[in-house]
Structures are given as structure tokens and as C-alpha cells.
Chains A and B, each alone.
Chain A
Amino acid sequence: MLPDSPFGQVISLSHKHLVQDVPRPGDAAAPGAAVLRDVLAGGPFDAAAAGFVLAALPDSAAPVLWVSDRMSRRENGRLYGPALAQFGLKGPILRVEVSHPRDVLWAMEEGAGCAGLAAVVGEIHGAPEVLSFTATKRLALRAETAQLPVWLIRSADHGALSAARERWRLSSLPSQMHPDNPQAPGLPQWEAELFRARGRAPGVWSAGYDCSARTVADRLRLVSRSGDGPLAEDHRAAADVAG
């Protein structure tokens, strides 16, 4: 039973449609968790990408390295500390605020070799020349050697070449029903599209984030969007369990 509609109706999904096997993208326990992932913003001025990355960060008290270039800070605003607690972030954020994307990539590479961090997140606006396939390949190899999840948030980029092991595209959806006030926006909802991945099937999900959930794993919830094609093919394991 999920309150899954902006109109307040409760839609009950059968067990078959409730996709259980979608792994949390940042789950540290999952094999191959420590890879480079791209998150593309679906539209301009959309904080869904940053929210999704924060929701998927591993549950750790170690600091998170957050590198951003000047353009992304000017376009999308800078990360606001008091809101981070709502995303269940325990460790402090080590901010690196540089002006050029070249320095962002350098700082991310340095951070990816450091075992004391929980994760490395970089933000780059647009598609600068330094963010080439080679640069992302270097980052991806670093992340896999150091066993550290590395996220790259690319706003205003329409899918340039990248060697990231998973590529997501995030955009906002109308939020969920507010429990008390029908006029007010409720819990956030995003459309998460995994359009390129190694070792798993791509798909489109509607992602919800609920910080009041009891366990960390329940907080970020990916639900298949209806009308998305045959679910049984995408998620064979779930179909098997369902019989």
C-alpha cells in the first residue's frame, strides 16, 4: 500500500508490481558499489540530482568530499548545510569550492584515493572540454581501485560521452500528498532514469525519499513507473519470487 498519487488516492499494487530487487544505487554492501556514477539533471534549476545523490550516499560518519565549480554554484545555488540532516547524512561535508572544472576533476581524483572518506561527489555545470571520456575513465578506475563511491553531478549536460559505470538522469515529479495540508507540497518524488549501466538493466523508476523511514535502506524507494513496458523482463528476479 503506497500513497502514490498527488490526488491522495491510495493505489494498491499487487506483489508482482512491487519491484523489490532494485538495489539502492549507493548501497555499500552491494557488490560493485564503489564505482563512478553520473547523475544528469533532467531540467535546469532542478535539485533532484543532488537530492538523489545525498539519499544514496553510504550510511557512514566519515566526511564526504563535495567538490563544485563556480558555474554550478551560480546556476543551481550552493549546497545548504541545514538541509543535509533531512537526508540522513551523518558525516560532515568537506567542501571544495573551485572555479574551473579542471580543478574539480583533480580534487575528485585526489579524494578518490583517500580511504578516510565516505564518498566523493563532484558537480560540473555544462559540458566543458576537460570533462572528456578520458577524464571520466580515469575517475572510474580510481574509484574502483580505492573502493570508494564517486558521484558526478552534471547539470545542463545532455548526455556527453562518459565512462561512468552507471548513468542516471533525475528530474522532479509532482511531490507526494502532504499528510495534513492538501494545498502544500509533500515528500519529494523524482523520476530516476538509469539509461546506461554495466551489469544491470536500465529502467525508469519513480524515486521517493522519506527521511522518517525506520531503516536507512527503506528511505530511498524506487518504484517502477506504470506504463514502463514489461516489468517481468526488466526484473526477472522479482517475477520469479512472485511465482
Chain B
Amino acid sequence: MDRWRRITAQQRTLPDETVPVVLAQAGRHGPVVYAVSVAAQARGISEGARIVDVQAIHPDLHVEQADAPGDRKLLDRVAHWARRWCPWTVRDGADGIVMDVTGADHLFGGETAMLRDIGTRFQMQGLTARLAMAPTRGAAQMLARFGAGRVICDVEDLEMCLAPLPVAALRIGADTDRLLQRLGLKTLGALMQVPRVALMRRFDRLAEEINPLVLLDRALGRTADPLNAPADARHWLARVRLPEPVIDPLPHLEALAQDLCVQLAEAEQGARQLRLTIYRVDGEWRSRDVATASASRDPAHLLRLLAGKLDGIDPGFGFDLLTLEALRVEPLALQQDHLEGRRDAQRDVAALLDRLTARLGPDKITWSAWVQSHLPERVEHALPALGHVAGQAPVLDRARPLRLLDPPEEIAVLYAVPEGPPARFRWRRVAYLTRRHEGPERIAPEWWRDRPGTRLRDYYKVEVGDGRRFWIYREGILGDGRGGDPRWFMQGIFA
């Protein structure tokens, strides 16, 4: 919900605070409520209810589409961000983060101060967080979700803290929860007082993740419940520290590139995106990015790409630290060279793309992409060669000019015959006499794309006196009710 509010606030005005807002997700029988706003919670709307039911009860309900994968991604990122407090963090379910702060709280001035710090920083990020601290992971997640908020629970009063919580806090699934409710075991305290043997007999068939006894044992610390935190993303970085500030980065680049490539080779990775940063003595830094068409860890190639980018970099009074990092890497296995010394064609083209793109810019080096369209200038459009592949050209049965003027240039008609192309026309200040012609080929405007009132085109292939062949068209016909006299345009030149 917080994420939705932040994204929406950037694009449009949020609905009023008093309007209940819910995020909907596809359910088994139509959309169901995924998350609710504060106003909606106050009205008693709960998650998992069907949207149609809620809408019937609250006609002023504002429904939006939820983005569950986006939420999960955000939570993963937040879990990594939370490593600022402790090294072991992991995402817990769809809406929680578990942090193992053992031995880390004194760095923030004790447990209370740390909890306050965490709460403040989440608030600064615009996220609502319910926090709890407990000796075990299970107890902490139960207290955070069902407790009174900002609870700090010690080992001695663990059972006392957990006793008033409902059994649903164990996350045992709806069936087991209903069974325990029917048995009259509504709180964890009641569950703890039941003789263990009796419960064992009833629940021994249940899987570990939803078995109330196992979960309770974990929460009370009777069995081990270790945290399996995902490893930090590896940072591919090579750096050179200089004893004296220097102006020219070029002599140090080779060592940097080799260092980075050795690191990449050990992990069998290749760089797709690189960033060279210089840290100047006056505290400023400057960076240059280069990208490659295919993963590479060839120091000579990376060096050539970077060397072309150094022209505009401003060293100021010199710099004393130089780093080269790979921002994006891809797996790259060792490749066998050709035995007879021939060069690999595909790798060569990829390297050429890198060099051209690094110097001229990504939008200058293009492949052609094709769209279905009747208008000749819309058929082809350019895609940056870095990151795309060449498309298959369409097969046309009509003659098309080899060179296309874009936009078409208007020609002045000097003498026209009633049917057919102009007998004499002037283009770029030269008069031409039409000898032979072919056409017309009529191309109607694309009504699903063009503005209303766009005129049709009649294309002619004309040959002038010295043999040059042009592609001209007349826009509109006389009396089509879409403007005055038709105009003539030159659009292409045939070979």
C-alpha cells in the first residue's frame, strides 16, 4: 500500500484520505482485496474479502490493481538495505523482514535505541513498519504481526509475551486454526498448557511448516531455527591508489583492466557494463560508463573502449584514486579459439559494436526493425544495435526505391496531363521532363493511426530524360473534400 501511494503520488493526485482505497488481486472467484488503506481498515474491510462484496457494502470504494511481484522485489531490496543494522537479514513471507541483530544492538546504543532508529528510518523511506524484538525468530514475527507494536521481549518473559497472542499467529493454515478454535484453544497460552502428548497424537501427520507444536517449539527456543540469509551481491571492483595526484588516467588503465578481468575470470563472468571513476583531490569525482554488446573479459578490448571515453573527463587538480567496476556481469565460459587461427566472426562483430557505440553513441549504430504499415516511411525504424538483434526484412512484391527522402520534398508541377504524373516538374531548382512512368499505386491513409482528413497518395515511378528514376506521389485527388488542389511530392530515388 505504501509503495502504491508513493508511485501514484508521482503520477497523479491521490484520492482523499477519507476515501477507502483497496488494492485488488485476482482470486479464485474474481478479484479479492490484497491490501487496504487506513481509511478502509477503519471501515472494517479486511484482506482476502471479495471486491464485489466490499463494493456492495461501501459504494464509494476506490479499487486499484495490486502489483505483487513488484512488492516482493521491493521487499528483497529493503531486506538488503536493512543490512545497515546487522549482517543477517532475510525476507519473511510476503510482507516481513527478519533480522538477526545478535551482537549488533550495542552499535546503535542498545535495543530500544536501535528499534527506534529502525522505525524512524523506515518512516523516512515512506514505509510503515511494525517492529518487535524477541530472542527467537518465530516469536519476533508473531509479536510484530499480532503484538502491541515495538515490543522488546527478553528470554525470561518470552512465554508471558506470547501467551495472549491468537493461535493464528503461528501461521498454521486455516484448517488447523479452525480445528484449534473448535477445541477451545484460542491463544498460545492455552495451547502451551495442554499436555504435549495429546497434541502430538493429533498433529503428528502435519508437515513441519504448519505443525503448531513444531512452530511453538521454535518460537520458544526449544529447537534451533537458524536464519539462512542470502549472500550479498558481489561487487566487481578494481582500484588503484596513487601516492601523488596525477592528471592522466591512461597509464593506470591497463593494470585496472587486468585486475578486473582476473577477478571476472575466477568467477567465469564477463562484463556487460563498466564504470570508470576518478576521485579528485578536491573531493569531487567523475565517472564514465561503457557498455558491451556481449559479455567480455578481454583486458585489451575493455581498454580500447575506455580509452576512447577519456577525452571529456575533467581531472581538475589531479586525482589519487581510480576505480573500475563492472556494474553488470553475465556468465561467460572459456571459449576455444579456432585451431587454424581463424577469428570468431560473431565475437568480432560484437567487439566492433562496442567500439562504435562507445565512441559515436548508442542511437547512431542501428539495426532495422520492421512494422506492418502501408506508408513507406513507417515500414522501417531503427533500433539501437547494442541490445537488439537484426530483424528479418519483409518481402515486398512492389518496386520500392533504393533511397528514401525523409521527409518527402514538395515538387512544383510545371505541366501536367489529366491522367498520370506531371509531364514536367521542378525539384530542387531543376526542371525534369518525364519520359516514362508507371503507376499509379494508390496508398490509402491508415485510418486507425492517421488524423482524420489525411489524404490518400497516388505513387508514380517516373523516368526522366537522362535515365534517373524517381518515386513521386500526389497527395489527394481533386474534389475529395479534404483541402484544395492536390500537391505533389518527391519521396524516393530508384537505382
Tell me the nearest residue of chain A to B347, going by C-beta.
A116
Q: Mask for B318-360, Cβ within 8 A of A = 1, else 0?
A: 0000000000000000000000001111111101110110011
Kindly list chain A residues whose C-beta atoms are within 8 Å of the C-beta of B396.
Answer: 82, 85
Tell yes or no: B138 within 8 A of A by CB. no
Contact A45 B461 (CB under 8 A): no
Residue pair A107, B356 in contact (C-beta under 8 Å): yes
Give the dominant DSSP class at A's interface.
Answer: mixed
User: Does chain A have a CB within 8 A of B404?
Assistant: yes
- Most chain A C-beta atoms within 10 Å of own C-beta, residue among B346, B355, B364, B467: B467
* Pick from B355, B364, B400, B405: contact of A110, CB under 8 Å: B355
- Does B367 reach chain A (CB closer than 8 Å)? yes
Interface hit among A133-141, A158-166, A169-177, A231-239? A169-177
A121 interfacial contact with B, CB 8 Å: no
Complex interface: chain B residues within 8 A of A46 (CB):
468, 493
- From residue 166 to 205 of chain A, which have CB atoms closer than 8 A to chain B? 171-175, 178, 181, 183-185, 188-190
Q: Are B403 and A94 closer than 8 Å at their CB atoms?
A: no
Contacts of B395 in A (CB 8 A): 85
Q: A80-B376, A82-B396, A85-B393 are in contact. Are A185 and B360 (CB under 8 A)?
A: no
Asked if B119 is at the interface of the complex by the 8 Å CB criterion, the answer is no
A212 to B245, CA, bound (A): 68
B368 touching A116, Cβ below 8 Å: no
A23 at the interface (CB under 8 A from B): no
User: B468 to A45, Cβ gap below 8 A?
Assistant: yes
Contact of A183 (CB < 8 Å), options: B349, B402, B403, B437: B437
**Any A CB within 8 A of the CB of B365:** yes
A114 adjacent to B348 (CB under 8 Å): yes
B401 contacts A by Cβ under 8 Å:
yes
Q: Is B191's beta carbon under 8 Å from chain A?
A: no
Contact, CB under 8 Å: B403 / A50 = yes
B449 interfacial by beta-carbon distance below 8 Å: no
Within 8 Å of chain B (Cβ to Cβ): is A95?
yes
A228 → chain B, closest Cβ, in Å? 18
Q: How far is the CA of A45 from the CA of B468 in the complex (A)?
A: 8
Q: Does A223 count as interface, using CB distance less than 8 angstroms?
A: no
Q: Indicate whether A131 reaches chain B with its CB closer than 8 angstroms.
A: no
Cβ B365 vs Cβ A94 within 8 A: yes
Instruction: Using known A-B contacts A47-B494, A185-B463, determine if residue A115 contacts B469 with beta carbons closer than 8 Å.
Output: no
Contacts of A183 in B (CB 8 A): 436-438
Question: In residues 59-97 of chain A, which contact B (Cβ within 8 Å)?
Answer: 62-63, 65, 76-87, 92-97
Q: Is A58 an interface residue (CB 8 A)?
A: no
Partner of A116, one of B349, B379, B438, B492: B349
CA distance A129 to B351 in the complex (A): 29
Q: List chain B residues, Cβ under 8 A from A110.
A: 352, 355-356
B437 near A96 with CB under 8 A, answer no
**Cβ of A122 < 8 Å from any Cβ of B?**
no
Taken together as a complex, chains A and B put the C-alpha atoms of A184 and B436 apart, in Å, by 5
Known: A178-B438, A183-B437. A115 touches B345 (CB 8 A): yes
Q: Contact: A80 with B352, CB < 8 Å?
A: no
Which residue, of B396, B403, B436, has the highest number of chain A Cβ atoms within 10 A? Answer: B403
Q: In this assembly, does A19 line the interface, its C-beta being within 8 Å of a C-beta of chain B? A: no
Please tell me if the beta carbons of A172 and B402 are within 8 angstroms of each other in the complex.
Answer: no
Across the interface, which residues of B come within 8 angstroms of A171, CB to CB?
466-467
* A residues less than 8 Å from B468 (CB atoms): 43, 45-47, 172
Contacts of A178 in B (CB 8 A): 438
Of all chain B residues, the one with the shortest Cβ separation from A107 is B356
**A77-B404, A80-B402, A184-B436 as given contacts; A95 in contact with B352, CB under 8 Å:** no
For B344, list chain A residues within 8 Å (CB).
116
Complex CA distance for A107 and B356, rounded to whole angstroms: 7
| Residues of chain B with a CB closer than 8 A to A111's CB | 352
- Across the two chains, which residue of chain A brings its CB closest to B346? A116
User: What's the Cα separation between A84 and B463 when bound, in Å?
Assistant: 20
A92 with B348: CB separation less than 8 A: no
Q: Is B159 an interface residue (CB 8 A)?
A: no
Q: Which residues of A sit under 8 angstroms from B379, Cβ to Cβ?
A: 81-82
Closest residue of B by beta carbon distance from A111: B352
Nearest-CB residue, chain B, relative to A48:
B495
* Whole-angstrom distance between the Cβ of A112 and the nearest chain B Cβ: 10
User: Nearest residue in A to B377 (C-beta to C-beta)?
Assistant: A80
The CA-CA distance from A79 to B380 in the complex, in Å, is 11
- With CB as the reference atom, state the residue of chain B lying closest to A184: B438
Q: Which residues of B contact A65 (CB under 8 A)?
A: 352
Tell me, in angstroms, the Cα distance from A180 to B467 when the chains sit together. Answer: 19
| Chain A proximity of B335: nearest CB distance (Å) | 15
The residue that A96 contacts in the complex, of B365, B390, B493, with Cβ under 8 A, is B365
B399 at the interface (CB under 8 A from A): yes
Within 8 A of A (CB), among B384-400: 385, 390-391, 393-396, 399-400
Give me the 6 closest cross-chain CB pairs, A-B, nearest first. A51-B495, A92-B390, A116-B345, A77-B403, A184-B438, A116-B349
Binding site for B on A (CB under 8 A): 43, 45-48, 50-52, 54, 62-63, 65, 76-87, 92-98, 103, 106-107, 110-111, 114-117, 171-175, 178, 181, 183-185, 188-190, 209
Given contacts A77-B492, A107-B356, A181-B438, 15 further A-B contacts (CB under 8 A): A47-B468, A50-B495, A65-B352, A79-B402, A81-B370, A92-B368, A93-B368, A96-B365, A97-B364, A107-B360, A110-B355, A117-B348, A174-B466, A183-B438, A184-B461
* A and B contact pairs by CB, cutoff 8 A, 12 listed: A43-B466, A47-B493, A76-B403, A94-B349, A110-B356, A116-B343, A116-B345, A117-B348, A174-B467, A178-B438, A184-B461, A188-B494
